[in-house]
Amino acid sequence: VIDPGHGGKDVGAIGINGIQEKDVALSIAKEIIRLNKTLLNSKFDIYSTRYKDTLISLSDRSRLAKSLNADVFVSLHCNASKTSSKGTDVYVHKTNHEEIRTKESIAMGLSILEESTLKLGFKKRGIQFANFQVLRENTKYRPSILIEMGFVTNTDEADYFLKPKNIIAMALSILMGCITI
């Protein structure tokens, strides 16, 4: 399950030139699905928590993953900061680090970080631990991560997300990061 964060009236972060987190996340989710179909011949059954600009509750996002018995849960977001922060980080549920799903989540997160930072040139901010609801409700059942793909408040990263070819590149890095685990 790919989870493009925010949606509808919840725009998420608003960045440089009015770029909205919800739009970036949805564009990348759609591109992940398209690349799976065109490049990988639909190797994966990928579902999205939303396919258009609608607000889906956090609980419904988790319920969808549970009802589909999803193998992984990947939530897509963009970061924001009042300072000149930049880079990509991946969040994993703050839980007992010995749990198998936590270890798998960390491995998937590291794989995606490697793809997005080494191949796309984003600064690697690392794996972070948090108690986000979508992670808390999914980690028991499947490897689950929340990716902060970059800062929409950083001029370079906001400009990056305005170019369709870069949306494809980020989507491909996430898809390839999921494949390599």
Give 86-98 pLDDT, tens digit per residue. 999 999 998 765 6
Which helix (H) or strand (E) segment holds residue 143: the answer is none
Q: Going by C-beta distance under 8 Å and a sequence separation of 6 or more, which residues neighbour residue 109?
A: 90, 91, 92, 127, 145, 147
- pLDDT of 97 reads 56
Task: Tell me the per-residue pLDDT of 120-172, one tens digit each, with 9 for 90 and over.
Answer: 999 999 999 999 999 999 998 999 999 999 999 999 999 999 999 999 999 99
Tokens of residue 72, six digits: 């992984």
* pLDDT, average across residues 37-56: 97
- pLDDT of 85 reads 96
Asked whether 144 and 135 are in contact (CB, 8 A), the reply is: yes
Mean pLDDT of the chain: 95
Q: Among 94, 114, 115, 116, which residue's Cα sits nearest to residue 105?
A: 94
* pLDDT, average across residues 83-110: 88
